[in-house]
Amino acid sequence: KQEVTQIPAALSVPEGENLVLNCSFTDSAIYNLQWFRQDPGKGLTSLLLIQSSQREQTSGRLNASLDKSSGRSTLYIAASQPGDSATYLCVLGSARQLTFGSGTQLTVLP
Amino acid sequence: NAGVMQNPRHLVRRRGQEARLRCSPMKGHSHVYWYRQLPEEGLKFMVYLQKENIIDESGMPKERFSAEFPKEGPSILRIQQVVRGDSAAYFCASSPLGQGDTDTQYFGPGTRLTVL
């Protein structure tokens, strides 16, 4: 059974800092890994999708890496902004379902 | 192309009543997934459906919960005789192919169920 752990559970940083969110998983037999953003009272927004054959993906200020052998992924956010404040979810895709981490709640202080 | 639509966005029910949550997938998508997010917990898979078929319901509680995705119309998640522990956000996602490797799921905004 896949288990996904995200560390830290909460993070508060001043605006402009670079930061890293961590995700670890127990079963490397995955199809893909996604990072989602969840805003309070709203749905989920997919940020980056890494296929199992890839090692990283980049979009703007975001960079996500995947190391299946060690069961780890990181989400790097450069030059953080208050608008980045949200909960970030690491999600593992297997044959028919997604397994979600519990999320990292990020607060970027102006 | 409209995204995944869920309604209602907020639903309040008293204990013992029935809750019906609707999900309209993106145009062209024939695969629907339901997830539940309990307070202070992560999202958990409930059920995966194709048109008129339940493919995987391994995450669905055995009693009171049912799901359908008819040939015409939205997918319905039905909760009978709701209890306070059913209070959660229920998210629906859809995908065009249902293939884990190349397919991605697109999420709706969720329905927040509150049981009084």
Instruction: Name the pLDDT band for A40 (thresholds 50, 70, 90).
Output: confident
Task: Tell me whether residues B48 and A96 touch, CB distance under 8 A.
Answer: yes
Determine the Cα–Cα distance for residues A64 and A42; give it in Å rounded to an integer: 23
Supply the DSSP symbol for B86.
Answer: G
* Strand bridging mode B111-115 / B88-95: antiparallel
Q: Per residue in A1-35, pLDDT tens? A: 888 999 999 999 999 999 999 999 998 888 889 99
Cβ neighbours of B102 in A, within 8 Å:
51
Among A92-96, B71-75, B88-92, which stretch is predicted with the lowest mean pLDDT? A92-96
Using the predicted structure, report yes or no on whether residue B29 has a pLDDT greater than 60: yes
Residue B84 in 3-state DSSP?
A: helix
Average pLDDT of every residue of chain B: 90
- In sequence order, the 6+-apart residues with CB closer than 8 A to the CB of B81 are B15, B16, B17, B18, B64
- Under 8 Å CB pairs connecting chains A and B tally to 57
Q: Max Cα separation, chain A?
A: 42
Please say whether the beta carbons of B84 and B15 come within 8 A: yes
The closest of B69, B41, B93 to A96, measured between CA atoms, is B93
Nearest CA in chain B to A43: B109
Q: What is the pLDDT of residue A96?
A: 65
Question: A19 burial class (0-12, 13-18, 19+ CB within 10 angstroms)?
Answer: middle
Q: Which residue numbers of A have CB closer than 8 Å to B's CBs?
A: 4, 31-32, 34, 36, 41-44, 46, 49, 51-52, 89, 93-103
For residue B100, the chain A residues in CB contact (below 8 A) are 31-32, 93-96
Distance (Å) from the alpha carbon of B11 to chain A's nearest alpha carbon:
13
In angstroms, the separation between the Cα of residue A37 and the nearest Cα of chain B is 11
Q: pLDDT, tens digit, for every residue of A53-110?
A: 999 999 999 999 999 999 999 999 999 999 999 999 999 887 667 888 989 999 999 9
Q: Which residue in chain A is spatially nearest to B58 when comparing CA positions? A: A97
Distance from CA of A110 to the nearest CA of B (A): 26
* Model confidence at B102: pLDDT above 70: no
What distance in Å separates residue B13's CA from the closest CA in chain A?
A: 19
Higher-confidence position of B93 and B17:
B17
| Inter-chain touch A89–B101, beta carbons under 8 Å | no
Per-residue DSSP letters for A70-91?
TTEEEEEE-S--GGG-EEEEEE
User: Is the pLDDT confidence value at B98 over 80?
Assistant: no
Backbone dihedral region of A71: left (phi > 0), alpha (psi from -120 to 50 degrees) or beta? left
Write the residue in A46, A97, A103 that is nearest to B42 by C-beta.
A103
Mean pLDDT across the stretch B5-31?
95
**Backbone CA torsion sign across A88, A94, A95, A97:** negative
Dihedral class, residue A60 (left if φ above 0, else alpha if ψ from -120 to 50, else beta): left
Instruction: Tell which wins on pLDDT, B56 or B78.
Output: B78
Phi, psi of B85 (to 5 degrees): -65, -10
